[in-house]
Amino acid sequence: MVLNDTVSAPHLAYKMDEFFKHESCGKCTPCREGTYWLVKVLHRMVEEGDARAGDIETLHAIYQQMAGNCFCLLGESAVMPIKSALNLFPEEFEALVHEKDKRYG
Ligand code: SF4
């Protein structure tokens, strides 16, 4: 995967977890529900520009409940993009929340 510096970490995590959500077979709850909720929150933050206070904590909580609890490596792999993005580029997620705060006061 090759990316340039115009691709944001939240957008990359969103697109990668969208793939894992699509590929999830739905057999186990942490993967089925975890990928669903990761994509739902990330879609609102990244695509709709509607990031809210508490979204970052919610994303951390979702992947932490998935990690180590999925039946196969697909679910465990879905944790990696969002965990890495949140931990390595926290300022990009915080910027989404603050940009929205500025737009709507
Ligand atoms: S972790 Fe594997 S078994 Fe569980 S829902 Fe995802 S793809 Fe299916």
pLDDT tens string, the chain, 105 residues long: the values are: 888 989 999 999 999 999 999 999 999 999 999 999 999 999 999 999 999 999 999 999 999 999 999 999 999 999 999 999 999 999 999 999 998 766 655
Ligand 1 atom closest to Cα of 75?
1
Helix intervals (H) in 1-105: 9-23, 29-42, 55-66, 73-88, 90-104
Instruction: Please tell me the residue having the least CA distance from ligand 1 atom 2.
Output: 72
Q: Ligand 1 pocket, 71 CB below 6 A?
A: yes
Query: What's the confidence (pLDDT) of residue 71?
Result: 97
Residue type, 37: W
- Domains in the chain: ranges and CATH: 10-104 (1.20.1440.230)
Which of 17, 27, 35, 80, when mutated, tests ligand 1's pocket best, judged by the most ligand atoms within 8 Å of its CB? 27
- Alpha carbon 54 to chain centroid, angstroms: 13
pTM of the model: 0.93
